[in-house]
Amino acid sequence: VAESFREGLIMFSSFAFFGSLPILGYVVFPSLFPQMSDNQLFGCACAVTGCVLFLLGSVKSTLCASNWFTSGVETLLLGGACATVAYTIGQIIKEYVET
């Protein structure tokens, strides 16, 4: 039970930390660059997300026997696909809620 709790805590902490990095762009970038538009902020958040996903995939390769670059690209593509699906679903729901 203690091992499961420890693993769960590590998973939660990792998700909370790495999941907050793209959102921080909406807090940090407007402070540094007040002239940025919403579209530019969204682009920055996407870029940060891509970098974080690639980094996590590369680090993951140290835990399993795989090439760091291949693992990074794999995680980036899979995470990007999931994010695209989630964003698309959000846009579809937005269409129905606004009308």
- pLDDT 10s digits, 37-81: 999 999 998 999 999 999 999 998 988 889 999 999 999 999 999
User: Angle of helix 38-60 relative to helix 68-98, nearest 10 degrees?
Assistant: 140
- pLDDT for residue 1 is more than 90: no
Instruction: Give the per-residue pLDDT at 24.
Output: 85
Could you count the other beta carbons within 10 Å of the beta carbon of residue 39?
A: 8
Burial of 77 (0-12, 13-18, 19+ CB in 10 A): middle
Range of the domain at 62: 2-98
Average pLDDT over residues 90-97: 93
Burial of 76 (0-12, 13-18, 19+ CB in 10 A): buried
Instruction: Give the per-residue pLDDT at 99.
Output: 65
Name the domain count of the chain.
1
What is the distance between the alpha carbons of residues 61 and 54, in angstroms, rounded to a whole number? Answer: 11
pTM, to two decimals: 0.79
| Cα dihedral 20/21/26/30 (nearest 10) | 140
Instruction: Give the per-residue pLDDT at 19.
Output: 87
